[in-house]
Amino acid sequence: MSTFGAIIAGTGSALPSKRLTNDDLAKMVDTNDEWITQRTGIKERRIAAEGETTGTLGLEAAKKALAAASLSPKDLDLIVCGTITPEMTFPSTGCFIARDLGLNDTPAFDVQAACSGFLFALDVGAQYVRSGRHRNVLVLGTETISRLTDYTDRGSCILFGDGAGAVVLQRCDDPDRGWIYGSLHADGNGSHMLYCPPGSRHPISKEMIEKRQQYMKINGREVYKFAVTRFEELITDAMVKCNLTADKVSMIIPHQVNQRIIDSAITKLGFPMEKVFVNIEKYGNTSSASVPIALDEAMRAGRIKHGDVLIFVAFGAGLTWANAVVRI
Ligand code: COA
Protein backbone atom coordinates (compact mmCIF):
# COMPACT_ATOMS: atom_id res chain seq x y z
CA MET A 1 0.00 0.00 0.00
CA SER A 2 1.36 3.31 -1.05
CA THR A 3 1.32 6.46 1.09
CA PHE A 4 1.12 8.82 -1.86
CA GLY A 5 -0.96 9.18 -4.99
CA ALA A 6 0.35 10.10 -8.46
CA ILE A 7 -2.16 12.42 -10.12
CA ILE A 8 -2.13 13.54 -13.72
CA ALA A 9 -1.45 17.25 -13.16
CA GLY A 10 -1.23 18.19 -16.84
CA THR A 11 -1.29 16.72 -20.34
CA GLY A 12 0.04 17.88 -23.72
CA SER A 13 0.44 16.64 -27.25
CA ALA A 14 2.12 17.61 -30.50
CA LEU A 15 1.42 16.57 -34.06
CA PRO A 16 3.25 17.43 -37.26
CA SER A 17 1.19 19.64 -39.58
CA LYS A 18 1.88 17.54 -42.70
CA ARG A 19 -1.03 15.19 -43.52
CA LEU A 20 -0.72 11.94 -45.48
CA THR A 21 -4.18 10.89 -46.67
CA ASN A 22 -5.35 7.52 -47.96
CA ASP A 23 -5.57 9.04 -51.44
CA ASP A 24 -1.93 10.18 -51.13
CA LEU A 25 -0.94 6.59 -50.23
CA ALA A 26 -2.92 5.22 -53.19
CA LYS A 27 -0.51 7.15 -55.43
CA MET A 28 2.47 5.47 -53.73
CA VAL A 29 1.37 1.80 -53.35
CA ASP A 30 -1.39 -0.48 -54.67
CA THR A 31 -4.15 0.47 -52.21
CA ASN A 32 -7.19 2.70 -51.99
CA ASP A 33 -9.17 4.81 -49.52
CA GLU A 34 -12.03 2.30 -49.28
CA TRP A 35 -9.75 -0.64 -48.38
CA ILE A 36 -7.82 1.33 -45.76
CA THR A 37 -10.96 2.86 -44.21
CA GLN A 38 -12.83 -0.45 -44.00
CA ARG A 39 -9.87 -2.49 -42.70
CA THR A 40 -8.42 0.05 -40.27
CA GLY A 41 -10.65 3.11 -39.76
CA ILE A 42 -7.72 5.37 -40.70
CA LYS A 43 -8.35 8.30 -43.07
CA GLU A 44 -5.09 10.20 -42.67
CA ARG A 45 -1.96 10.38 -40.55
CA ARG A 46 0.60 13.08 -39.68
CA ILE A 47 4.16 12.90 -40.98
CA ALA A 48 7.16 14.72 -39.48
CA ALA A 49 8.79 17.26 -41.76
CA GLU A 50 12.53 17.49 -42.20
CA GLY A 51 13.96 18.79 -38.93
CA GLU A 52 10.91 17.67 -36.99
CA THR A 53 12.00 14.75 -34.80
CA THR A 54 10.94 12.51 -31.93
CA GLY A 55 12.74 14.97 -29.64
CA THR A 56 11.18 18.16 -31.04
CA LEU A 57 7.66 16.70 -30.97
CA GLY A 58 8.26 15.39 -27.45
CA LEU A 59 9.55 18.80 -26.36
CA GLU A 60 6.40 20.54 -27.64
CA ALA A 61 4.13 18.02 -25.89
CA ALA A 62 6.20 18.36 -22.69
CA LYS A 63 5.93 22.17 -22.67
CA LYS A 64 2.15 21.96 -23.06
CA ALA A 65 1.86 19.39 -20.27
CA LEU A 66 4.00 21.56 -17.97
CA ALA A 67 1.88 24.64 -18.78
CA ALA A 68 -1.32 22.68 -18.05
CA ALA A 69 0.17 21.64 -14.69
CA SER A 70 1.32 25.23 -14.00
CA LEU A 71 4.88 24.01 -13.57
CA SER A 72 8.19 25.03 -15.06
CA PRO A 73 10.85 22.56 -16.25
CA LYS A 74 12.98 23.06 -13.12
CA ASP A 75 10.11 21.62 -11.04
CA LEU A 76 10.66 18.23 -12.69
CA ASP A 77 12.47 15.52 -10.72
CA LEU A 78 12.56 12.91 -13.50
CA ILE A 79 11.79 12.43 -17.21
CA VAL A 80 10.74 9.01 -18.53
CA CYS A 81 10.34 8.83 -22.29
CA GLY A 82 8.64 5.99 -24.16
CA THR A 83 9.84 5.67 -27.75
CA ILE A 84 10.98 3.21 -30.43
CA THR A 85 12.11 5.96 -32.77
CA PRO A 86 14.74 7.71 -30.63
CA GLU A 87 16.65 10.80 -31.72
CA MET A 88 19.72 8.55 -32.02
CA THR A 89 20.67 5.08 -30.79
CA PHE A 90 22.18 7.02 -27.91
CA PRO A 91 22.01 9.40 -26.02
CA SER A 92 18.43 8.78 -24.98
CA THR A 93 15.63 10.96 -26.33
CA GLY A 94 14.85 11.83 -22.70
CA CYS A 95 18.30 13.47 -22.45
CA PHE A 96 17.65 15.59 -25.55
CA ILE A 97 14.25 16.69 -24.26
CA ALA A 98 15.70 17.53 -20.83
CA ARG A 99 18.46 19.57 -22.47
CA ASP A 100 15.95 21.45 -24.62
CA LEU A 101 13.83 22.17 -21.55
CA GLY A 102 16.92 23.94 -20.18
CA LEU A 103 17.77 21.24 -17.62
CA ASN A 104 21.27 19.99 -16.89
CA ASP A 105 20.92 17.78 -13.82
CA THR A 106 17.52 16.10 -14.04
CA PRO A 107 17.54 12.34 -14.55
CA ALA A 108 16.09 11.34 -17.92
CA PHE A 109 15.91 8.01 -19.69
CA ASP A 110 13.99 6.12 -22.35
CA VAL A 111 11.71 3.13 -21.98
CA GLN A 112 11.37 0.88 -25.01
CA ALA A 113 8.21 -1.22 -25.15
CA ALA A 114 7.00 -0.30 -28.66
CA CYS A 115 3.29 0.61 -28.78
CA SER A 116 2.99 -0.22 -25.07
CA GLY A 117 5.84 2.22 -24.34
CA PHE A 118 3.81 5.02 -22.81
CA LEU A 119 2.08 2.67 -20.36
CA PHE A 120 5.42 1.14 -19.37
CA ALA A 121 6.86 4.65 -18.89
CA LEU A 122 3.78 5.75 -16.94
CA ASP A 123 4.09 2.73 -14.67
CA VAL A 124 7.76 3.54 -13.99
CA GLY A 125 6.99 7.22 -13.34
CA ALA A 126 4.05 6.36 -11.06
CA GLN A 127 6.22 4.10 -8.88
CA TYR A 128 8.71 6.93 -8.29
CA VAL A 129 5.91 9.31 -7.33
CA ARG A 130 3.84 6.90 -5.22
CA SER A 131 6.91 5.76 -3.29
CA GLY A 132 7.56 9.37 -2.30
CA ARG A 133 10.94 9.53 -4.01
CA HIS A 134 9.87 12.17 -6.54
CA ARG A 135 7.25 14.92 -6.61
CA ASN A 136 6.91 15.78 -10.33
CA VAL A 137 7.67 13.31 -13.12
CA LEU A 138 7.29 13.99 -16.84
CA VAL A 139 6.20 10.91 -18.81
CA LEU A 140 6.20 10.90 -22.60
CA GLY A 141 5.28 8.76 -25.56
CA THR A 142 6.85 10.29 -28.64
CA GLU A 143 7.48 8.86 -32.10
CA THR A 144 8.42 9.50 -35.70
CA ILE A 145 7.39 6.07 -36.98
CA SER A 146 7.47 7.44 -40.55
CA ARG A 147 11.28 7.24 -40.32
CA LEU A 148 11.07 3.43 -39.95
CA THR A 149 8.29 2.97 -42.48
CA ASP A 150 8.76 1.37 -45.89
CA TYR A 151 6.54 3.39 -48.22
CA THR A 152 6.69 0.58 -50.79
CA ASP A 153 5.08 -1.93 -48.36
CA ARG A 154 1.30 -1.50 -48.42
CA GLY A 155 0.90 -3.93 -45.51
CA SER A 156 2.55 -1.49 -43.08
CA CYS A 157 2.80 2.02 -44.56
CA ILE A 158 -0.94 2.65 -44.35
CA LEU A 159 -0.99 2.11 -40.59
CA PHE A 160 1.40 4.54 -38.97
CA GLY A 161 1.80 8.23 -38.20
CA ASP A 162 3.97 10.54 -36.12
CA GLY A 163 3.20 12.47 -32.92
CA ALA A 164 3.88 12.93 -29.24
CA GLY A 165 1.97 13.01 -25.97
CA ALA A 166 3.07 13.86 -22.44
CA VAL A 167 1.73 13.91 -18.90
CA VAL A 168 3.06 15.34 -15.66
CA LEU A 169 2.58 12.99 -12.74
CA GLN A 170 2.45 14.80 -9.42
CA ARG A 171 2.57 13.53 -5.85
CA CYS A 172 -0.56 13.95 -3.72
CA ASP A 173 -1.50 12.71 -0.28
CA ASP A 174 -4.38 10.46 -1.42
CA PRO A 175 -3.10 7.08 -2.69
CA ASP A 176 -6.51 6.37 -4.26
CA ARG A 177 -6.18 9.26 -6.71
CA GLY A 178 -4.24 9.36 -9.98
CA TRP A 179 -2.53 6.19 -11.21
CA ILE A 180 -4.02 3.43 -9.06
CA TYR A 181 -3.24 0.23 -10.94
CA GLY A 182 -1.17 -1.08 -13.82
CA SER A 183 0.06 -4.37 -15.21
CA LEU A 184 2.94 -4.85 -17.64
CA HIS A 185 3.67 -7.92 -19.80
CA ALA A 186 6.26 -9.05 -22.34
CA ASP A 187 6.82 -12.18 -24.43
CA GLY A 188 9.87 -12.11 -26.70
CA ASN A 189 8.71 -15.33 -28.36
CA GLY A 190 6.50 -13.12 -30.51
CA SER A 191 9.38 -10.89 -31.66
CA HIS A 192 9.08 -12.16 -35.25
CA MET A 193 5.58 -10.67 -35.62
CA LEU A 194 6.67 -7.05 -35.52
CA TYR A 195 10.25 -5.83 -35.60
CA CYS A 196 12.78 -3.44 -37.12
CA PRO A 197 16.10 -5.20 -37.95
CA PRO A 198 18.97 -2.64 -37.54
CA GLY A 199 21.01 -3.19 -34.39
CA SER A 200 23.63 -5.47 -32.92
CA ARG A 201 22.13 -8.49 -34.67
CA HIS A 202 21.93 -6.70 -38.01
CA PRO A 203 24.50 -3.88 -38.16
CA ILE A 204 23.64 -1.36 -40.86
CA SER A 205 25.31 -2.23 -44.17
CA LYS A 206 24.92 -1.37 -47.83
CA GLU A 207 23.49 -4.83 -48.48
CA MET A 208 20.92 -4.41 -45.73
CA ILE A 209 19.73 -1.13 -47.19
CA GLU A 210 19.55 -2.64 -50.69
CA LYS A 211 17.20 -5.28 -49.22
CA ARG A 212 15.16 -2.57 -47.42
CA GLN A 213 15.93 -4.21 -44.07
CA GLN A 214 16.26 -0.84 -42.34
CA TYR A 215 12.46 -0.65 -42.21
CA MET A 216 9.98 -2.23 -39.81
CA LYS A 217 8.44 -5.59 -40.71
CA ILE A 218 4.92 -6.62 -39.74
CA ASN A 219 2.84 -9.74 -39.86
CA GLY A 220 -0.43 -7.82 -39.61
CA ARG A 221 -2.75 -10.81 -39.45
CA GLU A 222 -0.88 -12.41 -36.51
CA VAL A 223 -0.67 -9.11 -34.64
CA TYR A 224 -4.37 -8.56 -35.22
CA LYS A 225 -5.31 -11.78 -33.38
CA PHE A 226 -2.86 -11.08 -30.57
CA ALA A 227 -4.21 -7.54 -30.13
CA VAL A 228 -7.90 -8.53 -29.93
CA THR A 229 -7.19 -11.22 -27.31
CA ARG A 230 -4.91 -9.06 -25.17
CA PHE A 231 -7.23 -6.07 -25.41
CA GLU A 232 -10.07 -8.07 -23.84
CA GLU A 233 -7.81 -9.60 -21.19
CA LEU A 234 -6.34 -6.22 -20.21
CA ILE A 235 -9.73 -4.53 -19.77
CA THR A 236 -11.08 -7.47 -17.78
CA ASP A 237 -7.96 -7.53 -15.60
CA ALA A 238 -8.19 -3.79 -14.88
CA MET A 239 -11.87 -4.07 -13.92
CA VAL A 240 -11.40 -7.14 -11.71
CA LYS A 241 -8.26 -5.86 -9.94
CA CYS A 242 -9.82 -2.45 -9.25
CA ASN A 243 -13.25 -3.85 -8.42
CA LEU A 244 -14.89 -1.86 -11.23
CA THR A 245 -18.14 -2.43 -13.09
CA ALA A 246 -18.81 -0.88 -16.52
CA ASP A 247 -20.91 1.93 -15.00
CA LYS A 248 -17.96 2.96 -12.79
CA VAL A 249 -15.59 3.31 -15.75
CA SER A 250 -15.86 6.76 -17.34
CA MET A 251 -13.67 6.10 -20.37
CA ILE A 252 -11.42 3.52 -21.99
CA ILE A 253 -8.48 5.00 -23.88
CA PRO A 254 -6.99 2.22 -26.00
CA HIS A 255 -3.89 2.19 -28.13
CA GLN A 256 -5.11 3.45 -31.51
CA VAL A 257 -4.14 0.34 -33.45
CA ASN A 258 -7.07 -0.41 -35.75
CA GLN A 259 -10.76 0.52 -35.49
CA ARG A 260 -11.75 -3.10 -36.17
CA ILE A 261 -9.54 -4.42 -33.36
CA ILE A 262 -11.06 -1.88 -30.96
CA ASP A 263 -14.67 -2.61 -32.12
CA SER A 264 -14.19 -6.36 -31.94
CA ALA A 265 -12.74 -6.35 -28.41
CA ILE A 266 -15.25 -3.83 -27.04
CA THR A 267 -18.20 -5.74 -28.57
CA LYS A 268 -16.98 -9.01 -27.04
CA LEU A 269 -16.68 -7.29 -23.65
CA GLY A 270 -20.18 -5.82 -24.02
CA PHE A 271 -18.81 -2.37 -23.13
CA PRO A 272 -20.68 0.75 -24.38
CA MET A 273 -18.76 2.10 -27.40
CA GLU A 274 -19.50 5.74 -26.47
CA LYS A 275 -17.14 5.33 -23.49
CA VAL A 276 -14.21 4.42 -25.76
CA PHE A 277 -12.05 7.29 -27.03
CA VAL A 278 -10.95 6.80 -30.63
CA ASN A 279 -9.12 9.29 -32.87
CA ILE A 280 -7.43 6.79 -35.19
CA GLU A 281 -9.10 8.26 -38.28
CA LYS A 282 -6.96 11.41 -37.92
CA TYR A 283 -3.58 10.07 -36.87
CA GLY A 284 -3.32 6.31 -37.54
CA ASN A 285 -1.15 4.34 -35.15
CA THR A 286 1.43 6.61 -33.50
CA SER A 287 2.86 3.77 -31.38
CA SER A 288 3.77 4.89 -27.86
CA ALA A 289 2.29 8.35 -28.53
CA SER A 290 -1.23 7.12 -29.23
CA VAL A 291 -2.58 6.82 -25.67
CA PRO A 292 -1.19 10.15 -24.37
CA ILE A 293 -2.33 12.03 -27.52
CA ALA A 294 -5.85 10.59 -27.08
CA LEU A 295 -5.79 11.42 -23.34
CA ASP A 296 -4.76 15.01 -24.07
CA GLU A 297 -7.49 15.40 -26.72
CA ALA A 298 -10.13 14.01 -24.37
CA MET A 299 -8.93 16.35 -21.58
CA ARG A 300 -8.91 19.44 -23.77
CA ALA A 301 -12.32 18.56 -25.22
CA GLY A 302 -13.72 18.62 -21.66
CA ARG A 303 -14.63 14.95 -21.81
CA ILE A 304 -12.79 14.08 -18.59
CA LYS A 305 -13.75 15.49 -15.18
CA HIS A 306 -12.60 15.23 -11.60
CA GLY A 307 -13.32 11.79 -10.14
CA ASP A 308 -13.53 10.00 -13.50
CA VAL A 309 -12.02 6.53 -13.72
CA LEU A 310 -10.08 5.86 -16.93
CA ILE A 311 -8.66 2.58 -18.23
CA PHE A 312 -5.70 2.65 -20.63
CA VAL A 313 -4.70 -0.41 -22.67
CA ALA A 314 -1.91 -0.94 -25.17
CA PHE A 315 -0.06 -3.74 -26.97
CA GLY A 316 2.74 -3.92 -29.47
CA ALA A 317 6.08 -5.29 -30.56
CA GLY A 318 8.01 -7.40 -28.11
CA LEU A 319 5.43 -8.65 -27.80
CA THR A 320 4.40 -6.29 -25.01
CA TRP A 321 1.05 -5.45 -23.50
CA ALA A 322 -0.03 -3.27 -20.59
CA ASN A 323 -2.91 -1.55 -18.85
CA ALA A 324 -3.37 1.22 -16.29
CA VAL A 325 -6.26 2.57 -14.25
CA VAL A 326 -6.30 6.26 -13.36
CA ARG A 327 -8.74 8.13 -11.12
CA ILE A 328 -8.70 11.79 -12.20
N1 COA B 1 -4.43 -2.18 -49.66
C2 COA B 1 -5.09 -3.12 -50.37
N3 COA B 1 -4.96 -4.44 -50.13
C4 COA B 1 -4.13 -4.81 -49.13
C5 COA B 1 -3.41 -3.88 -48.37
C6 COA B 1 -3.58 -2.51 -48.67
N7 COA B 1 -2.94 -1.54 -47.99
N8 COA B 1 -2.66 -4.54 -47.45
C9 COA B 1 -2.91 -5.85 -47.62
N10 COA B 1 -3.79 -6.01 -48.66
C11 COA B 1 -4.34 -7.27 -49.18
C12 COA B 1 -3.51 -8.46 -48.80
O13 COA B 1 -2.44 -8.64 -49.73
C14 COA B 1 -4.52 -9.58 -48.85
O15 COA B 1 -4.69 -9.99 -50.17
P16 COA B 1 -4.83 -11.56 -50.52
O17 COA B 1 -6.09 -11.99 -49.80
O18 COA B 1 -4.95 -11.53 -52.00
O19 COA B 1 -3.59 -12.19 -49.99
C20 COA B 1 -5.81 -8.91 -48.39
O21 COA B 1 -5.60 -7.50 -48.58
C22 COA B 1 -6.14 -9.20 -46.94
O23 COA B 1 -4.96 -9.04 -46.17
P24 COA B 1 -4.94 -9.24 -44.61
O25 COA B 1 -3.54 -9.05 -44.12
O26 COA B 1 -5.65 -10.52 -44.25
O27 COA B 1 -5.86 -8.04 -44.15
P28 COA B 1 -6.41 -7.74 -42.71
O29 COA B 1 -7.88 -7.72 -42.74
O30 COA B 1 -5.73 -8.57 -41.64
O31 COA B 1 -5.92 -6.24 -42.49
C32 COA B 1 -4.15 -5.06 -41.36
C33 COA B 1 -4.53 -5.97 -42.53
C34 COA B 1 -2.65 -4.82 -41.41
C35 COA B 1 -4.90 -3.75 -41.52
C36 COA B 1 -4.58 -5.75 -40.03
O37 COA B 1 -4.15 -7.09 -40.02
C38 COA B 1 -4.02 -5.06 -38.82
O39 COA B 1 -4.38 -3.94 -38.49
N40 COA B 1 -3.11 -5.75 -38.09
C41 COA B 1 -2.44 -5.21 -36.94
C42 COA B 1 -1.54 -4.09 -37.35
C43 COA B 1 -0.31 -3.96 -36.54
O44 COA B 1 0.50 -4.85 -36.47
N45 COA B 1 -0.14 -2.84 -35.87
C46 COA B 1 0.99 -2.58 -35.06
C47 COA B 1 0.88 -3.29 -33.76
S48 COA B 1 0.47 -2.29 -32.44
Residue nearest to atom 11 of ligand 1 (CA): 155
What's the predicted TM-score (pTM) here? 0.97
Task: Identify the pLDDT of residue 3.
Answer: 87
The answer to whether residues 138 and 48 belong to one domain is: yes
Read off the pLDDT of residues 91-114 as tens digits, 9 standing for 90 and up: 999 999 999 999 999 999 999 999
Q: Among 146, 175, 204, where does a domain finish?
A: 175
| pLDDT band at residue 270 using 50, 70 and 90 as cut-offs | confident
The answer to whether residues 190 and 301 belong to one domain is: yes
Mean pLDDT to the nearest integer, 316-321? 97
Mean pLDDT to the nearest integer, 204-233? 95
Instruction: Find out whether the beta carbon of 115 lies less than 6 Å from any atom of ligand 1.
Output: yes
Mean pLDDT to the nearest integer, 127-152? 98
List Cβ neighbours of 148 (8 Å cut-off, separation of 6 or more): 84, 85, 196, 214, 215, 216
The answer to whether residues 23 and 131 belong to one domain is: yes
Q: Decide if 298 contacts 304 (C-beta within 8 A).
A: yes
- The H or E element that residue 178 is part of is strand 178-186
The answer to whether residues 303 and 323 belong to one domain is: yes
Mean pLDDT to the nearest integer, 123-137? 98
Distance (Å, whole) CA 310 – CA 307: 10
Whether 1 has a pLDDT exceeding 70, the answer reads no
The answer to whether residues 187 and 303 belong to one domain is: yes
Whether 300 has a pLDDT exceeding 80, the answer reads yes
Read off the pLDDT of residues 71-92 as tens digits, 9 standing for 90 and up: 999 999 999 999 999 999 999 9
Q: Among 118, 142, 175, where does a domain finish?
A: 175
**What CATH number has the domain bearing residue 204?**
3.40.47.10
The answer to whether residues 224 and 289 belong to one domain is: yes
The answer to whether residues 75 and 165 belong to one domain is: yes
Residue nearest to atom 40 of ligand 1 (CA): 220
Mean residue pLDDT across the chain = 97
The answer to whether residues 27 and 40 belong to one domain is: yes
For residue 260, report the distance from its CA to the centre of ligand 1, in Å.
12
Positions marked catalytic = 115, 255, 285
The answer to whether residues 88 and 216 belong to one domain is: no
Q: Decide if 195 contacts 25 (C-beta within 8 A).
A: no
Read off the pLDDT of residues 160-189 as tens digits, 9 standing for 90 and up: 999 999 999 999 999 999 999 999 999 999
Instruction: Find out whether the beta carbon of 286 lies less than 6 Å from any atom of ligand 1.
Output: no
Alpha helices per DSSP H over the chain? 22-26, 33-40, 54-68, 93-100, 117-130, 154-157, 206-210, 220-241, 259-269, 280-283, 290-300
Pocket test for ligand 1, best of 116, 158, 221 (most atoms within 8 A of CB): 221
Q: Which atom of ligand 1 is nearest to the CA of 154?
A: 7
Instruction: Find out whether the beta carbon of 158 lies less than 6 Å from any atom of ligand 1.
Output: yes
Mean pLDDT to the nearest integer, 298-308? 96
The total of other beta-carbon atoms located within 10 Å of residue 256's CB is 29
Percent of the chain whose pLDDT exceeds 70: 100
Distance (Å, whole) CA 328 – CA 310: 8
Instruction: Find out whether the beta carbon of 190 lies less than 6 Å from any atom of ligand 1.
Output: no
For residue 35, report the distance from its CA to the centre of ligand 1, in Å.
9
Task: Identify the pLDDT of residue 7.
Answer: 98
The answer to whether residues 124 and 243 belong to one domain is: no
Helix/strand number for the chain, H first, E second: 11, 13
For residue 231, report the distance from its CA to the centre of ligand 1, in Å.
19
For residue 249, report the distance from its CA to the centre of ligand 1, in Å.
32
Instruction: Find out whether the beta carbon of 280 lies less than 6 Å from any atom of ligand 1.
Output: no
Instruction: Find out whether the beta carbon of 257 lies less than 6 Å from any atom of ligand 1.
Output: yes
For residue 224, report the distance from its CA to the centre of ligand 1, in Å.
9
Domain tally for the chain? 2
Range of the domain at 58: 5-175
Whether 15 has a pLDDT exceeding 70, the answer reads yes
Q: Among 141, 175, 209, where does a domain finish?
A: 175
Instruction: Find out whether the beta carbon of 31 lies less than 6 Å from any atom of ligand 1.
Output: yes
Whether 2 has a pLDDT exceeding 90, the answer reads no
